[in-house]
Structure 1
């Protein structure tokens, strides 16, 4: 393999209140996608890919995660870009959230993604954080996984065994867990381009601006010529160990007359599907459930209004 030699970063273990310094690790800098996955395969579970580092680095500092090897993806070509491909919009996994936020192509073709992006942290986070990093990290309170679910996005991966495509509905498997193998990298995401008579909205509640959401919803709606719901997608975040769809609420709304559907009913149905809702110092399960129902209702109402052209 032709990659830059690893460097060992020796960091003393120092405590600063609730923070610690990360342990020592070897920093690998591959220059091709093949070299990156070969490194992950060779080093096994002691290795972790790093892109923008906006999720991984805080976990390393807090010792929530410890890896002996970091495989840096910054110099791997082909992981960045925004392109129209076969009637869909492809976004490279290494594309920064800031690039997505300011892209006219994204705002026109995939409005839900464009509207969710400014809700991610603050501009410094978005200037380094990547869409692939957010999806692969699979934080339960993150916006992008819910958007991918609501839009039926397809996630493209690469490993020593070749390429494959994973539907968003099968990608997120649990708390900080996805269907990616240890030696597999997320390389790109394909989103359907908005159609006529469609509407999109994201609603979330956080105690402070730029905090993680306690509860949130991403909604996509498409109407037919009779103003009935042809298709809808509801992605939930902050309401479980990982982002979730609300299939019962979607099924109940599909085929119905948009004007006759009660947004509050959609919200309550979406919450009734959840087997468990987290309870912590930020809010009880009952509180999050009530807030979640309101977030779904608000997003549903806004998406339908946009689809109707109101």
Structure 2
């Protein structure tokens, strides 16, 4: 299909992007890599009055060391994430999840910030951001502010960003010694959206789990932290039986959808199975 008519603006700075979306009003849409927005435009599921293309905003690109954290520019592509040495060293969970995103063509165009701001609950990076305790850096007419990942995802395709704000970057805390990670994804065919996926961070001590953080993909209208299973995992032995018993709590507090890819109870089963796999893989067991 052919998209509905819209105005097109291509700013060169974050400040210009803020001005453009503010001038255009609530009907404006930001376009980063365009891998989610363009299909929606073509299907007329989205019909903005103005598209603000931020692909030329160089200050929103790249990964930098910020002391106890990394700052990832919102316009950093998935492919750049996969090749970045700082990500591999300090936030390998991001690379593990990004490796499962779509195909190489999409990863060369799609962006880290664009995927997060799109806020599709089946997207892989939202649960990762929650699990890592990231902060979202937004720039608007009132300046810049930081939004905790736990406050960023409001509902399906909806975030805490206001109409005059642009997501310019994400602050990722560095993990201390002893942490390991794994992203376990289940989908029907390669390169597809997650039916369910699990982001796992595990800190080991003396053969047991001292602490675990678990994020769930596509188990509600937003990504989730699985608080019940995190509590159940604390202190358990790193054996398949013990981890499996704790993982039985994985779906508690979720609101799994039913759709053509699977019923809610099927997703709940997947959450339990994938959590066990992800935790054991993260712990190297």
Q: When the two structures are superposed, what TM-score results if normalisation uses the length of structure 2? A: 0.95
Partner of 1:171: 152
Partner of 1:293: 272
Residue 232 of structure 1 deviates from its aligned partner by 2.0
Partner of 1:3: none
Q: Residues 200-254 of structure 1, C-alpha deviation per residue, up to 9 Å, x if partnerless?
A: 0111111101111111100011234x45544321110122212111112112323
How far, CA to CA, are the matches of 2:99 and 2:66 in structure 1?
A: 25
Aligned equivalent of 2:257, options 256, 267, 278 = 278
Residue 259 of structure 1 deviates from its aligned partner by 5.0
Residue 42 of structure 1 deviates from its aligned partner by 1.8
CA contact (8 A) 1:175 1:242 kept: yes
Unpaired runs of at least 5, structure 1: 1-19
CA contact (8 A) 1:202 1:299 kept: yes
Residue 195 of structure 1 deviates from its aligned partner by 2.4
Residue 256 of structure 1 deviates from its aligned partner by 4.3
The alignment status of 1:23 with 2:4, answered yes or no, reads yes
Residue 196 of structure 1 deviates from its aligned partner by 1.8
Partner of 1:53: 34
Residue 255 of structure 1 deviates from its aligned partner by 4.3
Residue 33 of structure 1 deviates from its aligned partner by 1.4
Partner of 1:234: 214
Q: How does 1:19-168 map to 2 (within 5 A)?
A: 20-168=1-149
Rg comparison, structure with higher value: 1
| Secondary structure, counterpart of 1:45 in structure 2 | coil
How far, CA to CA, are the matches of 2:192 and 2:240 in structure 1?
A: 35
How far, CA to CA, are the matches of 2:274 and 2:144 in structure 1?
A: 37
Calculate the aligned-residue CA RMSD, in Å.
Answer: 1.6
Unpaired runs of at least 5, structure 2: none
How far, CA to CA, are the matches of 1:23 and 1:66 in structure 2?
A: 6
Count of matched residue positions in the alignment of Structure 1 and Structure 2: 285
CA contact (8 A) 1:219 1:300 kept: yes
Partner of 2:243: 263
Residue 258 of structure 1 deviates from its aligned partner by 4.4
Residue 21 of structure 1 deviates from its aligned partner by 1.4
